[in-house]
Structure 1
Amino acid sequence: MAENNWTKFTVTADFNVDMRSVYTAWTTPAGLESWFLRKADFYTITGRLRESHESVLKEDTYEWYWHGFDDSAVEKGAVLEVNSIDFFKFTFSDDTIVSVSLESRNGLTILELTQENIKEEPDPSKNLFVQCQVGWTFYLANLKSILEGGIDLRNKRMDIGSNFK
């Protein structure tokens, strides 16, 4: 029996919309804020804040803010690759790397997201492998919901928080 590789995972999703719409949802601040983040700030290599509908470029840095959390919960990272068509790669939590690739197949846009460089944890339930895979699964479902039906599944209320205790 093969051992699990807790350092990398891939999730896929299909979208009944054109590839450009999915790509723009990943590579513009406004796009990311429509389905994923409360606020997505990208900075050019010279430090200029990108406009909301401006596409990100390689070597941009970012500060991302989540619904349900105040501004002290910020994710900082950098754009590693972007090709303006079907590929986007960036750093993410705890020095991991996320790659998003798109292709058209049978009238659908197919998205494949891979997160790698995940540090191994003695308890896999505390590993980013588990936490991020659950998170990406939800957010990809939300992206599908937004693009295909306009319904946002995120909790945006600070008074409820993120854990619904």
Structure 2
Amino acid sequence: MDTRWQKFKVTGDYHVNMRALYLAWATPAGLEKWFLRKADFYTVPKRLRAADEEVMKEDTYEWYWHGYNNSLVEKGAILEANGNDLIKFTFAGNCIVTVRFSTTKGLTIIDLIQENIPPETDPEKNLFVQCQLGWVFYLTNLKSVFEGGKDLRNKRVDLTSNFK
């Protein structure tokens, strides 16, 4: 079986301290700054986490995207969150996303791996391609927001592509 399409890795480098980038992934307010319209995280007893409260292993989430109404929601769970340099969560069904943070030569490096991608015969539904494109954009937006202050997301529900 060909397993090349079941996993990919994207990497970004940032002139931002590692703690700030970790919190950009590990708090609802952080994710909403560069990634999501709304990020709700729930503790095991189903308490909604505060905007600046760090997520923890076994939290569940409901994520809402800019450019879409509330009928499009991504649901998943936090598999690991060590408070320092690693966050792992379920995504797009049974996929697993691992985000690792490190520093080198004055930069913070983010390595994102998405794995457990199911095979798909319909290219329009191909999670390998669609998710990889999405993560490249969002890692770019993370850099833009944190290094330059410019948010590149389309935040208008009424603005969609007419290209078919």
- What does residue 64 of structure 2 align with? 65
Partner Cα distance (1:68, 1:94) in 2: 21
Question: 1:77-136, CA deviations, whole angstroms, 9 ceiling, x for partnerless residues?
Answer: 000001000000000002100000010000000000000000012345531000000000
Counterpart in the other structure of 1:31: 30
1: distance between equivalents of 2:151 and 2:72? Answer: 21
Secondary structure class of the residue paired with 1:53: coil
SS of the residue corresponding to residue 94 of structure 1 reads coil
Q: Which amino acid aligns with 2:127?
A: L
Tell me how far apart the structure 2 counterparts of residues 116 and 164 of structure 1 sit (CA, whole Å).
32
2:81 maps to 82
Q: Which residue of 1 aligns with 2:90?
A: 91
Question: Which residue of structure 2 lines up, in the alignment, with residue 152 of structure 1?
Answer: 151
Q: Are the structure 2 counterparts of residues 21 and 69 from structure 1 closer, same or farther at C-alpha, using a change threshold of 3 Å?
A: same
Written as runs of structure 1 = structure 2, the 5 A alignment for 1:1-165 is 5-124=4-123, 126-161=125-160, 163=161, 165=163
Determine the C-alpha separation between the residues in 2 that align with 1:108 and 1:164: 39
Separation of aligned partners in 2, 1:124 and 1:40: 29
| TM-score (structure 2 length as normaliser) | 0.95
Say if 1:124 and 1:4 are closer, same or farther in 2 by CA, change over 3 A: farther
TM superposition shift of 1:159: 1.1
Count of aligned positions = 162
List alignment gaps of at least 5 residues for structure 2.
none
Q: Distance in 2 between matches of 1:118 and 1:157?
A: 30
SS of residue matched to 1:32: helix
Q: Report SS of the residue matched to 1:41.
A: strand
Give me the identity figure in percent.
Answer: 62
Runs of 4+ in 1 over 2 A off after TM superposition: 122-126
CA distance in 2, matches of 1:35, 1:102: 17
TM, length-normalised to structure 1:
0.94
2:110 is matched by which residue type in structure 1? L
- What SS does the corresponding residue of 1:69 show, helix, strand or coil? coil
